[in-house]
Amino acid sequence: MIKVAVVGAGFWGSNHLRVLRDIGSVELVGVCDIDVSRAEKAAKKYGLQHYFKDFKEMLDRTKPDAVTVCTPSTTHAAIAMACLDHGCDLLIEKPMASTVSEAVAIIDRMHKAEAEVMVGFIERFNPAVQHAVKTIETGDIGEVLLFYSRRIGWWPERIGDTGVVKDTAIHDIDLANWIFGQLPAKVYAMCGRLRHSQEDHAQIFFSFGDGRSALIEANWLTPRKKREMHVTGEKGVITVKFIEQEVVVEKAEQTIVPNIKYAEPLRLELEHFTQCVEKGFKPIVDAYDGLRATLLAECILESSKNKNPVDIYEVVKSTGLERVVERG
């Protein structure tokens, strides 16, 4: 049994508690929230004996092996540092940190603590996405030329500390990096604020060189929620519907609609995390993935602000990030 604690008892923290409770190798030892009544309510609902207002007190009293961090992104760095200092492995919900410098600090502390940090890019664990990526890796649609995604729908009211780029589009930023296997060379983006204090719609264009590109559309304005991805290769196109967990592979000679067995991505993600903690494995979505996504999100916002393309590798070079961006 591994001892796991959860920081944050809001919408996503409650989902973590629900799933972790049912993983056989996990002993849930504590939950904390700045709203202690919310922590108490969550503890009672999911059968925890201990709940806290202060996460440092929770760490001292429960001594967990691992912690999942489900709090606003502005708090991630401070919480991560304290947990790593206590020798805990971490799963940090996206975005990993508010800034690139915070993400780098987490990585440096992770190495000092000889711990592992996983970042909650849940779409990597979507069975439809996993099937699509395996199809791409076999060369079935040839070299990937274009990645296009739409992640649109009403604003989730629980989000207050970040805009649509770091909260919503960041999933597809990570997927584009994963599928192309590299950082884009340049980004050009247009973002705007229509109804919210931070950007609530974004059109993002990545150039990966040699005619390869990614286009990401994200907003909190569209009445109907849509989550989809299209990957165009030289020999075919793969379409993924994230919510429905559907895949369509279109080629010149046939269209294939594989039968995807439904599974909850969060359950698969947390099962992977707890197995990594238990067996000492490196997570498949690590702190370097979190750093890269945070870096690209900041470049997107810079491009939108200045109305000009941003050269990603110039940013990496000028900020001395080569060692951390290229590792992992």
pLDDT value, residue 158? 62
How confident is the model over 21-48, as pLDDT tens digits?
999 999 999 999 999 999 999 999 999 9
* 271 in Cβ contact with 169 (< 8 Å): no
pLDDT of residue 13: 97
**Which tens digit of pLDDT belongs to each residue from 229-256?**
999 999 999 999 999 999 999 999 999 9
Structural domains in the chain, sorted by start: 2-121+268-285 (3.40.50.720), 123-263+295-315 (3.30.360.10)
Sequence letter at residue 71: T
What is the mean pLDDT of the segment spanning 272-281?
A: 97
pLDDT over threshold 60, residue 302: yes
Rounded to an integer, the average pLDDT of 270-282 is 97
pLDDT value at residue 159: 58
| pLDDT of the residue at 197 | 87
For residue 210, pLDDT over 70 is answered with yes
Confidence at residue 27, expressed as pLDDT on a 0 to 100 scale = 97
Q: Give the pLDDT of residue 325.
A: 83
pTM of the predicted model, to two decimals? 0.96
Mean pLDDT, residues 73-79:
96
Instruction: Name residues whose C-beta falls within 8 Å of residue 314's C-beta, 6 or more positions apart in sequence.
Output: none
DSSP per-residue string spanning 134-183:
HHHHTTTT-SEEEEEEEEE-S--TT--SS-HIIIIIHHHHHHHHHHHTS-
95: preceding bond cis by omega (within 30 degrees): yes
Residue 324 has pLDDT above 90, yes or no: no
How many CB atoms neighbour CB 324 within 10 A?
20
Q: How far apart are CA 314 and CA 29, in angstroms?
A: 45
In this structure, the strands spanning 212-219 and 246-251 are unpaired
What integer pLDDT is reported at residue 3 of this predicted model? 98
pLDDT digits (tens, 9 = 90+) for 84-134: 999 999 999 999 999 999 999 999 999 999 999 999 999 999 999 999 999
pLDDT of 185 strictly over 70: yes
